[in-house]
Chains A and B, each alone.
Chain A
Amino acid sequence: MSTSSIKTKSSIGVGQIILFLSVAILVIVVAFPVLLILFNAFWVEGHFNLKNVIEVLSEPDTFKALKNSLIIATGTTIGSTIVGTFFAWLVTRTDLPHKTFMKSMFLVPFMLPSFIGAMAWKMLLSPNAGFINQFFIHHLGFTGPVFNIYSYLGISTVEVMYLFPFVFIQVCGALERMDPTLEESARISGAGLLTITRKITIPLVLPSIMSGALLIMLYSMAHFGTVAVLGIENGIYNIPTLIYERIHQSGGSFASIRTGTVLATVLVISAAIIIWAQRTILGKGHYQIIGGKSFRPMELKLRGLRMPLMIFCLAYIAFTIVLPTVVIFLVGGLKTYGLSFTPENLSLDNYKFILFEYQVTRDAIFNSVTLGFSAAIITMFAGVMISYVIVKMKVRGKGILEFLGMLPFSVPGSVIALGVILAWSGKFGINLYNTVWIILLAYIARYMAFSLKANSAALEQVHDSLVEAARSCGATMWQSLKDIVIPLVRPGMLAAFFLIFLPSLRELTVSIMLYAPTTRTIGVAIYTLNEDGETVISAALAGIALIIIIVGQTIINHFTKKEGA
């Protein structure tokens, strides 16, 4: 033992450096922009001004947007909860045929971008030009459209199709993990299966249902794409679309930014309330229902309803997943929008055009891939470091760090976008507006929470004693990080990478607020082309995006399966 190895406790160690970097990253990327929004909303002309906030909110347009956000979110939440719970129950607690297949199909909407879905539904059900409406009018003698997608009901229905997996996955998890003896003891008490479902099963998974429902509420309140695609025709705005409209139309004028910050504040506050409600429900009512011995849970024999319900599920999958996807690809193949789907009208020309000739779409694909890749790499490494501080280090104030890291999870994308505009448009010496860098910063802020979640989960698995064992073997702090911690969290880092890379490829909400002519992303390009009436080009690009996403997802599944084995 050499005396040179003696160190005093006060020296600056690895820990302090990591801590300092973590705080710096989160403050600059996350806290600063969000605080600027609150500051701008309440601080007018040098002093605190609540009156102005109320004025902005009582403008007819803003008030209506608030109301719309609430109506759509409520409808979506109720619909998704019913659909999600029903399907979850069906695939876990009944003898429905092909349950594993159904289960994986019900998770597919998770990876599909809802604004592309909304575009497809616009093609299918717009009151005049929609394929389905036209079919009914021309062939079945209807005098008007059967369904108008440009309505509250239409918007909510489309959102339900893409958001119900939030509830589905939570409830499936709860039902699968639930101790089967909880139900068996009711059965031996004399209760039939329907009574058990009503009195035991559903009440026990209610916290999971509620928590999924609140997530949907949160998401739908702040959702941009579907409302933007389907609402504008009929003048239905919600908060994010109104923020976008205002800032977009005025080219970023002061008044529009003020309206934006006030609306964004409303979103932040409602998000905070929802998150709080969710925590309370999870904290209080989360029953210990995970059991010891595992048996197969009881299955309700559907008997006569078995086939009809299977057909219903298949029809649901065909109608909500297959049909819109097929329509996107078919329209993407049309020479001009409006032609019928006959072989002579269909070709791969549009796809070739957007991939090899059209500068706008080629730029968009390049931008999205490089932005997504960079954001994923940066966020992955920053996430490991910050998670390490949160999970492993015993330092004061790491609660704040955790809060900051998870903040973007509850802060909607349009708020983040607005925040980075406020922070990085030159007011503080750095002007990144109209460059890809501002989008990159926004992506990092938006996806940091994903990375923290994946990396924290991986780090929780690395028990302290693994590091201590390395230290007692003679390894220094750095060596044990390098040899033990990093190799063990690699799966978490990989997961974080894909969790960020794939969604960023289809990102719309943030990019739409920040793009410049040369910095369109795939999402922005699809959306703007569609707005400009380039329906077929836009659909073809959407098709390409779907292919990239599906291939990417398949690769992840492959990876995660291998890591699991």
Chain B
Amino acid sequence: MSYVRLVNVTKRFGDVTAVDNLNFEIGKGECFSMLGPSGCGKTTTLRMVAGFEDLSDGEVWVGDNLMSSPRKNHYLPPEKRNFGMVFQAFAVWPHMSVYDNVAFPLQIRKLPKSEIEQRTTDALKATNLLSAANESPDFLSGGGKQRVALARALAINPDVMLLDEPLSSLDPHLREEMRFEIKELQQKYGFSIIYVTHDQSEAMALSDRIMVMKLGVMQQIDTPLNIYNHPANQFVFSFIGLSNFLNVVWRDGKLYLKGEGDKLAMPDELVPPEDLKGEPELSLASRPSEINFTSMTDPEALHGVVSRKAFLGEIIDYQIKAGEQTLRVQKGRRDPGPEAGENCAVHFERPFWYKGHAK
């Protein structure tokens, strides 16, 4: 069931198209993440949903209510949208106590005093802040401040919660902790989440569905596992984890590694799926941990030389030179592997093939 709907949403700043014709729907109670590098338009999209940015084109709907539509000359200001929102830099008000911060949205709505008290206390309880209610948020840690921001957003019982990189100002340990807390709050209150992040593991861990964006354009929308199993293109592949790309070319029905006159033939049994056969330029994508060392006679194996081997504790990191291209391989500290300078053969456990060469 769709609840938040974006239809052909576009945002231009002068000549630059920051967000290009986005269409997606978010269900009630769903956690939807927008994932991409900085400048991909994810924050701009969130701010258009919130009402802080005008749309250049398209429409934003919540349930049956139109939020923004430049064509219909319709715009509901942010204060009327009834969203909860949490910002990267916390944005808690240092001149108010924790309690007053959380009570603020309720006071603005002119609710009866007893109800304000009740709901503020509930929100503080849900975020484990009750003991700090009368303190100034300045005395709280980063995690504490972000809890205040969460409690403030929760207080109005919003249907939709907008989270703009809420964890990236926290240290890694706390980040994980808060991630679980957000998830628990969502399960308890049942709001939908639109979550903006550049951290793929955060998005994977938290979301029901993820939209990967690049330069304002949607690349893929799917569940975390599906994105992991079937990255739609090279960009998505490289964005969701460590990656290798080997560029190859077709010549006379055979695959060759790109470089030095494209003379190095690929192993005969390492072949792309049917639909990509015959494409003049292809790339073979792989994850460093999904490459194994194998015997030199393995028909699927690619041959190369270990140009570097580094002991990193849990893992051993290899750099393999195959022709002019390099591959990175990571094996566990117990797995046997070749030494630097030796010839080796590698086998791809999960090869992905994409049209065109990777840069």
Contacts and interface: CB of A to CB of B under 8 A. Distances in A.
A–B touching in complex (CB under 8 Å) = yes
Interface of A: 179, 181-182, 184-192, 195, 199-200, 203-204, 206, 287-289, 291-293, 295, 298
Nearest to B52: A184
B50 A186 contact: no
Interface in B72-118: 77-85, 87-89, 91-95, 104-105, 108-109
A192 B79 CA distance: 6
20 contacts: A179-B89, A181-B89, A184-B50, A184-B52, A184-B87, A184-B91, A186-B93, A186-B104, A187-B77, A187-B79, A188-B50, A188-B78, A188-B79, A188-B162, A189-B79, A189-B104, A203-B93, A287-B95, A292-B89, A295-B52
B156 interface: yes
Nearest to B169: A292
A191 B43 contact: no
Contacts of B152: 185, 189
Interface residues of B, number: 32
A185 B156 contact: no
Contacts of A190: 79-80, 82, 105, 108-109, 156
Interface of B: 43, 47, 50, 52, 77-85, 87-89, 91-95, 104-105, 108-109, 138, 149, 152-153, 156, 162, 169
A204 B93 contact: yes
Given A179-B91, A189-B104, A190-B108, 17 more contacts: A181-B88, A184-B91, A185-B149, A186-B93, A187-B52, A189-B156, A190-B156, A191-B108, A192-B79, A199-B104, A206-B95, A287-B94, A287-B95, A287-B138, A288-B94, A289-B94, A293-B88
A293 B156 CA distance: 26
B87 A185 contact: yes
B10 to A, nearest CB: 19
Contact of B108 (A181, A195, A291, A295): A195
Given A189-B152, A189-B156, A204-B94, A291 B89 contact: yes
Contacts of A181: 87-89, 91
Nearest to A290: B89
B84 A188 contact: yes
B79 A185 contact: no
A376 to B, nearest CB: 41
Instruction: Please give me the 5 A-B residue pairs with the lowest Cβ-Cβ distance, nearest first.
Output: A189-B105, A287-B94, A181-B91, A181-B87, A292-B89
A292 B88 contact: yes
Nearest to A188: B85
A293 B43 contact: yes
A182 B78 contact: no
A185 B91 contact: yes
Contacts of B105: 189-191
A441 B82 CA distance: 65
Interface centre among B88, B138, B169 (most CB of A within 10 A): B88
Interface centre among A185, A200, A204 (most CB of B within 10 A): A185
Nearest to B80: A190
Contacts of B153: 188
Contacts of A287: 94-95, 138
Nearest to A191: B108
Contacts of A199: 104
A82 to B, nearest CB: 21
A243 to B, nearest CB: 42
Contacts of B104: 186, 189, 191, 199
